[in-house]
Structure formats: C-alpha cells, structure tokens
Structure 1
C-alpha cells in the first residue's frame, strides 16, 4: 500500500510538472516557427534560443539581475503603500453605505483613468526621481485595493452577520470575527490585480520618466540600440516577474484563506 501511494504521488507530480512545462514550451515553439518560417521580419525577431542564451548570460553577469531588483523594489514599495493606505480606506467605505455613495464617483473616475495619463501630474508633484514612479504606481494600485476591499465588506454574507448578532456579538466583534474574514477573498483578488497594475505602471515609468535602471529602462534602451535579444529577454524577465508575484500571492491566499467559499 505505501508503494502504491508513493507511486501515485510521483505520477501526480510528474503530470503537474508536464502541465506547467506546456505553456513555456508552446511559447518557444510558436516563436521558433515564426522565426524559422520568417512569418515576422527576421531583422525584428531574433531566434528564441539566441534570446534565451543571451538572457542567461546577462543574468549570470549580473546586469539583468540588477535591473530586475530595481524594478522589484519599486513595485514592492508601491504595493506596500497601496495596501497600508487602501485596506483601511476600503473598510471605511464598505462599512458605511452613505460614505460609499458619496465617494463612489471619485473612486470609479480615477480607477477608470489610465494611470499613464497621470504621469505629468506626478512629475510636477514629485520630479523625475523614483518617488514619482512609486507614487503613480501606488496610487493606481491603491484605487484597485480600495474598490475591492469596499466591495468585499458590502457583500459579506448577511446570514453570518445576523447569526453573530443574534448571539450577542457587538459591532467590533462582528467586524473582527465575521466581516474581516468574509472580505479576505475579495481583498486578495484586488491585491493580485493591484500588483499586476503596479508592475505595468512601474515598467512604463522606467521607460519614459528619466530612469537609469530597471527593466523598463533596459527594454527601451535595448530597443533604441537595436539589441533585440536583450529587448526580448528583458520583456520575458518582466513577464516572469509578474507571473511570479501573482503565483506567490495565490500560494499565500490558499494557505491563509483555505476556508474561502465554505
């Protein structure tokens, strides 16, 4: 019996590994077909294998790793600011319908405004340094978190709230033991969206707001100097960062909110 269980677990891990490998392999295959069949101008699309080789070399040399870390730190700062400021604001909005209705227009208006359209405003306020990049990304992520937290608070299941109230629980106890946990799934949905948005804004800001480092600067610099393998490699690394951040949040969500939907 133990051997059967061990074999089953091994087969599951192998199947899972194969499933995870299909996506990257398919990407490389389509890229290689487009390159080899000259479906795209060969002067605009390098070989995927040359790109992966040069990217690995840049990572080992440390230059790609340095830019990766600069971008990651900026994203981390912006999302931390957004969480610290956004979660309390979302709770206040969601807990009071009158307050939410009063401010709904402002939240939806700025949430619907492209973050990149706010670059000039944040440049005027904060200048060309890192503060402007982090601030505009934090603002965009903050709006997403506020909306999702407020939505989660407003849509907490009333049956559980009424059950807690019938047992004599006060408002603070109901919020702490019922509403807070009911809002967590929606909060994590907003958090994953906010992280992806913050990364996009930071990358674009690094391209166009006087950056001297980061993946966005590396991409635009490689495009200007016509270093195509470096440009495509930097795009792949930026995509890997976004995928990794989203995957990390999913693992945290599954570990701490395993009761979701029950």
Structure 2
C-alpha cells in the first residue's frame, strides 16, 4: 500500500513546489494584458518585461543600491527602537490587565490614527532630518508591537498558569517561565507587522519629508519627471525589500516559536 501511494505523494510534493510561482505569474499576465490590450497606455504603465529589465539594469549597475540600503537602514533602525520599547512595555502592561485597561484608549487611539498624518507634527519636533523619518516610523511600529505583546501575555493559557501556581511557583516565576513564553507567538505577529509598517512609513517619509536618498525619494523624483520605468522599478524594489523582511521573520518565527499551536 505504501509503495502504491509513494508516487502520488511525490507528484503532490512536486506540485506544491510550483504553488508560490502561480501568483506572480498571474500578476505578470494580468499586467501584460492591461498594457497589450491598450486598456492602460504604456506611457503610464510600461510592460512588465520593460520594467523588470530596467530594474535589473539599475541593480547590476549599482544605481539603486545606495537608496535601497538607505531605506533598509532606516527601517531596521526604526524597528529596533520600536522593539526595544514595545516588547518590554507590552509585556509589563499585559502582566497587569487592569493597568493595560487604564491606558488602552490611548494605545488604540494612536494605533488607529494613520501615522502618515502625524508627519507634520514630527517635522515640528525633529525638523527636516534623517532622524525624523526613523522617529515617525518607530512610533508607528511600537504601537503594533506593544499591542500584540500585551495581548500575548493576557491571553496566555490559564491552565498552564494555574498548573504552575499549584506547583508552588512564585508570581515572578510564573511570569518568567509561563507568561513570557506563552506571549511569544503573539509577540512575533506584532514584530512581523511592525517591520512591515516601519518600511511603509519610512518610504512615505522619504517621499514627503526632504530627503536626498532612499527608495521613497527615488519613486517621487521619477514620478515628477514622468520616468515611469524608474518609478515602477523602484516600487518593485521596495516590494522586494518588504517581502524579504517578512520572509525572514516567518523563518525566525518557525525557528524560535516552533511549539506554537501545539497543546
């Protein structure tokens, strides 16, 4: 029976390898169809082949490398600041539900406020500086990370907390050995969302706060002179950066929180 099912299993496994490529293939096909059918003028939306060729040429020549690395650097700096503040504060608030409820409105209010709307405020505080872009991005990310860390602690399995208490564990031991570990899956959700949001706000800040580097600055400059291949190529570069960062956190999540979802 096993030998009979083995070829089927191999075929299914080989098919799964192709599944991640279906979405990009459909996207490129739809993109090509829009351009070739004349639905959208090639002046406004160049074909995917032309755009990808341009992106490849500026990547190989190194023309986009400086802006790519600058956006990555700002995103990582903002994310690290948000993590250092958000995780400990979220865990501390989550350990005391009454304390969290007392500040819940403030957290939810600013978490629900579009961070890009606060750019003028941050410009008044920090001026037109590089740190301004990092600060507004860190502010946006810290709220998401804090929220998820707090709820990770508050939603820890009560049976495990009760079991540890019954076995004589102190409140600190329960917090350290049960609540912290139970909160990790939700915390990683916050970290993944946080780094994605940090990248979005950094790119927006590079576009609208005086900047001479970064993918956002590259996109807005290309748009202003109607260099559409450059504009779409830079957008794709930002998308690739976001995808890679998200993929890295997915891998890290599976490595660190490998027990998530198990009883």
Equivalent residues in 2 for 1:19-34, closer than 5 Å: 19-34=19-34
The TM-score with structure 2 as length reference comes to 0.94
Contact 2:137–2:201 (8 Å) recurs in 1? yes
- Whole-Å Cα distance in 2 between the matches of residues 176 and 54 of structure 1? 52
Q: Per-residue deviation at 1:14? A: 4.0
Whole-Å separation in 1 of the counterparts to 2:215 and 2:13: 33
The equivalent of 1:148 in structure 2 is 148
- Which residue is equivalent to 1:218? 218
Distance between the aligned counterparts of 2:52 and 2:161, measured in 1?
54
Give the gaps of 5 or more residues in structure 2: none
Unaligned residue ranges in structure 1 (runs of 5+)? none
- Residue 26 of structure 1: how far off its partner (Å): 1.3
Distance in 2, Cα, partners of 1:175 & 1:106: 25
What is the root-mean-square deviation of aligned Cα atoms in Å? Answer: 1.9
Question: Could you say if the C-alpha distance between residues 179 and 135 of structure 1 is closer, same or farther in structure 2, counting changes exceeding 3 Å?
Answer: same
What residue in structure 2 maps to residue 184 of structure 1? 184
Return 213-222 or 37-46, whichever deviates more.
37-46
Alignment-derived partner of residue 234 in structure 2: 234
Q: CA deviation at 1:83?
A: 0.3
> Where does 1:1-262 land on structure 2 (aligned, <5 Å)?
14-262=14-262
Counterpart CA distance in 2 for 1:8 and 1:14 is 10
Deviations, residues 53-109 of structure 1 (Å, cap 9, x unaligned): 011000011111221111011000000000000011101111112211211111111
Shift of residue 172 of structure 1? Answer: 1.6
- 1:92-135 CA-to-partner distances (Å, cap 9, x unmatched) read 11111221121111111111111011101111111111100000
